Structure 1
Amino acid sequence: MLLIELIPVILLICLSASFSGLTLGLMGLDQMGLRMVIESGSQPDATPSESADAKYAKKIFPFRSRGNLLLCTLLLGNVAVNSLLSILMADMTSGLTGFIISAFSITIFGEIVPQAICSRHPLKIGAFAIPLVYIFTFATYVFAWPISQILDRVLGEEIGTVYSRNQLKRLVMMYSRIKDSEFQEVETNIVSGALDFSKKSVGSCMTPIKDTFMLDIEEKLTFEIIYKIFQMGHSRVPVYERHPHNEHEPIQVVGLLFVKELILVDPEDDLPVRNICHHWFGTDIPVVFEDCMTTNLMQVFKSGRSHMALVKRVVESDDCDPYYESVGIITLEDLIEEILGDEIEDEMDAVHMPGSRSRRDKSAHARIIAGGGELPLDHPLLVYLHDKNRMECTLPQSEVDAITMFLSGKHQHTFGVSVMSAEDLSRLIRSSHVLRLSEEDGEHAIYTAGSTTSCCTLVLDGHVKVRAGQDGFESICGPWTIFGLRVFETQSEIKADWSATVEPESSGCRLLQIDLANFLAHAGGKRRLQNSASVGKKGALRKAWSLVKSNSQLSPAETPDSMSPLTASPQRRHTGVGEGLTTTFPSSLQVSIE
């Protein structure tokens, strides 16, 4: 008899637990949160867990979209079940005992336990409980629907949780601190920077004009000035002009010089900047005001007009009319740094300012360079170019450093650290023979086809005419061309299948000749040849050479001038001129036949 009486009590406790758990689980999911779950789970890159949550959210959303009806249904059912349970317990026991048992049962099994479970898995439990919600809605519809309609008219449409800009930032930061979170620190910084980006003005991101590296329009592009530009590592340099009659007047930025345009400038011509900006290239620089928002400036940069802008402000004074004053420079990189929340360090920063990542350090570096102090010519190639004694037969240390950097970087398999150290390579270069030929020496043959050689040759200055192949394919090779690398690969004499001749020219020619015995003496026991890779490479390049010969329409009688890399058409830029030869053109094209 007691068991029969306990059955409705257990059933009522289960119903109470269902109403209570679903109230917390379903009502805790607002419509905006469900839409977010559904849309994120529908993306192609969604994870399996996100796809499963989206499936659950789609089942819940029709009920949750009518939030007041769902709320009334669950609360009415919960109150009715709890009241009926109290009455049954009072009939089965005395009043006080029934109160204690019903209160304990409802609190523990009807509220705490189900809400704890549903709060952790609301989507999954809510989706599986949808059929039960249908039954509850049908059972309480007569009472729940009128109440829900009154709430809809009085309270209005349910909007859901909407976060402010600062709340979104804190939410992302909180998620990033959770263990096993997908958010990384760099992603958190980017999201925070993007949220703050539209609130920032140009004045807070710009580089002040006093910290900006600029060129006077009357400046001459000497070697020192071009080297200053190289040291800064900028792709664009603002050009300013002073007032012709009043030196105290503020300078005016009148244009923008692209550094890539300097590739056509000879430092020995002392060409004025004005000629570059006004007569040849030159680009107007966009102007913005310091109170302009960064989002508006980003639209200007995205349009492709320029990636640098001049920042101005209006200066008002009682003594004169208002005028514009240049206060700074801002670039696309500055805006990207604001979004990323970190400084961008490019290749030139790493070379000239190692370890420096702040805009303040970069500005200080710009002031030092623009100040006109003594230039620290620390780059081996630039030291070599600036050295006036490089045409002598004895190699200066600056040129030895430049050749060492070139050979160890471009020909690592022959001169890299796996073969010899940088110190050994420098000693090898210094101990090698430098052949200098002037116009009076006439033609001089370096290599003759069919003859054996044990020497590798690097062109330092001047030009060499090369003839190779059965068709007598000719090419003119300039500085930094190397011949005979196969001597060191095979560690033996080779038979040249090309001819190389130095033709007389007024500027002269210098050649660095490295003998095999000298090379082996400095390489020592560290030489490790990659025979298999070398064989495969030679086979592929011989095949490429055969294609060059079959496609070439040139006759052996064509002059060397017609074969110059500077004047050859794209169809004629074939530089495979025999085994053991590497030709570097002034362009970025480089072909190596070993």
Structure 2
Amino acid sequence: MSDLTLTLQVAALVVLLVLSGGFSMSETVMMASNRYRLRSLASQGHKGATLALDLLARTDRLLGVILLFNNLVNTAAATLVSVITMELFGDERWALGVATLLVTFAILVFSEITPKVIGAAHADRLAPILAYPLAGLLRVFYFAVWFVNLFSRGLLWLMRLQPKADDNGALSVEELRAMVIDSGQYIPHKHRSILVNLFDLENITVEDVMTPRGAIEAIDLSDPEHEIRRQIATSFHTRLAVYDGDSEHVIGVLHQRRLLGDTLDEPFAAERIRDLLMRPYFVPADTPLYSQIQFFQENQQRLAFVVDEYGEILGLITLEDIIEELIGKFTTSIPDAGDRMHWSEEGSALVDGSANLRELNRRLDLSLPTDGPKTLNGLILEYLQDIPETGVSMKIADTPIEVVQTQDRMVRTARLFRPLARSAGQ
């Protein structure tokens, strides 16, 4: 065999290996590409992304054209190696065996593994580019691909493995949540946090974020007028619950703006408050926050009283409470017990017994259970099954807790200590 012929055959073998690598890369690129990113590019008029989406819409045709040519190229490469070996060494079996091993190694390294690793690493960037040659090959050799797929579909039918209709890659809520969490540099941390909180609204009820009944600021019309005047003048809230002697029976909600307009016309009088009250709005304790937003919108309300199955008031929920659950606490002049929710240098935190467990978990990075009581006081009472005395300590969910102050059959103040495992990690 002349040197020229051998050179041409080796060059042809290299070309076949390169083509095989190209088809292997194309398979990985198309399958690993982000369809949502392609759709975004296609909506901006990117022709390559549109072609890629068209190919991915019929996976059988896409894989058919790739694997058809990939196998043809690999077979041609193996045949060419056999021809070269026989012309160099004759019919020596050891030579054919060695040649088979060498071509298998070359195909694995240069035409399979390396191209596929590159394709997987740059799938989104290469998919719109490779879509052009793949679409052209499919258009030219459509009949051959259809003929091969005909047998493939027949075999699937015999095996009762018919492919199901494509759902266009619809994602579940948990999958969307995972995508947002893993979005990294593409979405700012604050925005990512808001989106994750939004997914949780269906699993969080108004009872989880409400202001407990004991912490509700309310006006008692049976109090002396000077006491009512002082309470209104020092209140940080624009809307106040109003009752008359019986705190279990709220008779309305006072909007201080309406009261201000009334006092500009006539002197202040406690009895006139009754005429300014808005009807109270009640919601069940197990109402999801997402549904409550809709209810507030439909009823044109911003405040609701949370009631249990017996109709007794458990607490109060406002539109601001739900918004804060999404984006975090607002910067206001209202004193907030949550401002003390941070670890000291000694690894402890002094918090109110009325502190919400979800807020504690968020601010202190704890794992206190939230499927039962909603406040720290309720959690301690449930755990101990008794009213604790000052100085009693316990450990709940790996968090050491010490009761600092009790009053009126409830824990007023408690000291939390950073979990030992977390302290050691830091």
> Is TM-score (shorter-chain normalized) higher than 0.5?
yes
Q: What residue number does 1:308 align with?
A: 303
Aligned equivalents of 1:232, 1:193: Cα separation in 2: 31
Pick aligned residue for 1:242 from 234, 241, 245? 245
Evaluate the alpha carbon distance shift between residue 171 and residue 119 of structure 1 in structure 2; reply closer, same or farther with a 3 A threshold.
same
Q: Is the counterpart of residue 228 in structure 1 residue 231 in structure 2? A: yes
The answer on 1:185 being equivalent to 2:183 is: no
Paired residues of 2:30 and 2:56 also in contact (CA < 8 A): yes
Shift of 1:142: 4.8
Alignment: residue pair count: 325
Q: CA deviation at 1:37?
A: 4.8
Q: Deviations over 1:388-438 (max 9, x none)?
A: xxxxxxxxxxxxxxxxxxxxxxxxxxxxxxxxxxxxxxxxxxxxxxxxxxx
Residue 254 of structure 2 is matched in structure 1 by: 257
Query: Is 1:195 aligned to 2:186, yes or no?
Result: no
The residue correspondences of 1:112-123 to structure 2 (distance < 5 A) are 112-123=113-124
Cα distance change of structure 1 residues 142 and 252 upon mapping to structure 2, 3 Å threshold: closer
Deviations 1:445-497 (CA, angstroms, capped at 9, x unpaired) = xxxxxxxxxxxxxxxxxxxxxxxxxxxxxxxxxxxxxxxxxxxxxxxxxxxxx
TM-score scaled by length of structure 1:
0.50
User: In 2, distance between residues paired with 1:194 and 1:354?
Assistant: 22
Q: Superposition pairs for residues 27-426 of structure 1, below 5 Å? A: 27-29=31-33, 34-39=38-43, 42=44, 54-93=46-85, 94-137=95-138, 138-139=140-141, 140-147=144-151, 149-150=153-154, 154-159=162-167, 161-176=169-184, 181-222=185-226, 225-243=228-246, 251-263=248-260, 264-265=262-263, 271-272=269-270, 274-277=271-274, 279=275, 281-303=276-298, 305-315=300-310, 324-340=311-327, 342-349=328-335, 355=339
Distance (Å, rounded) in 2 between the aligned partners of 1:227 and 1:119: 70
The 1:189–1:128 alpha-carbon spacing in structure 2 relative to 1, beyond 3 Å, is closer
SS in 2 for 1:129: helix
Are the counterparts in 1 of residues 222 and 245 from structure 2 also a CA contact under 8 Å? Answer: no
TM-score normalised by the chain length of structure 2? 0.68
2: CA distance, partners of 1:169 / 1:146: 40
The Cα RMSD (Å) is 3.1
| In 2, Cα distance between equivalents of 1:56 and 1:221 | 76
CA contact under 8 A between 1:68 and 1:148: conserved in structure 2? no
Q: Which amino acid aligns with 2:182?
A: M
2:112 and 2:229 map into 1 onto residues whose CA distance is 79
Partner of 2:28: 24
Identical positions, percent: 23
Deviation, 1:255, is: 0.1
Task: Report how far residue 236 of structure 1 moved.
Answer: 0.3
How far 1:242 moved relative to its partner?
3.4
Amino acid of the structure 1 residue aligned with 2:223:
E
Q: Is the 1:90–1:97 Cα contact (8 Å) retained in structure 2?
A: no
| Distance in 1 between residues matched to 2:298 and 2:28, nearest whole Å | 51
**Gaps (5+ residues) in structure 2?**
86-94, 343-350, 356-426
Q: Match of 1:197, as an amino acid?
A: L
Measure the CA separation in 1 of the matches of 2:214 and 2:315.
Answer: 8
Q: What is the CA–CA distance in structure 2 between the aligned matches of 1:166 and 1:216, rounded to whole Å? A: 47
Quick one: structure 1 residues 164 and 142, their matched pair in 2 at CA, closer, same or farther if it must change by over 3 Å? closer
List alignment gaps of at least 5 residues for structure 1: 43-50, 244-249, 316-323, 365-594
RCO greater where, 1 or 2, for CA within 8 Å and sep 6 or more?
A: 2
Letter in 1 for 2:295: V
Task: Say if 2:37 and 2:124, in contact at 8 Å, map to a contact too.
Answer: no
1:2 equivalenced with 2:12 (yes/no) = no
Contact kept in structure 2, 1:285 and 1:306, CA below 8 Å: no
Residue 147 to residue 259, structure 1, CA distance change in 2 (3 Å): farther
User: What is the one-letter code of the residue matched to 2:316?
Assistant: I
User: Matches of 1:314 and 1:135 in 2, distance apart?
Assistant: 67
Distance 1:36 1:220, change over 3 A: farther
2:206, 2:285 within 8 Å by CA — same for their partners in 1?
yes
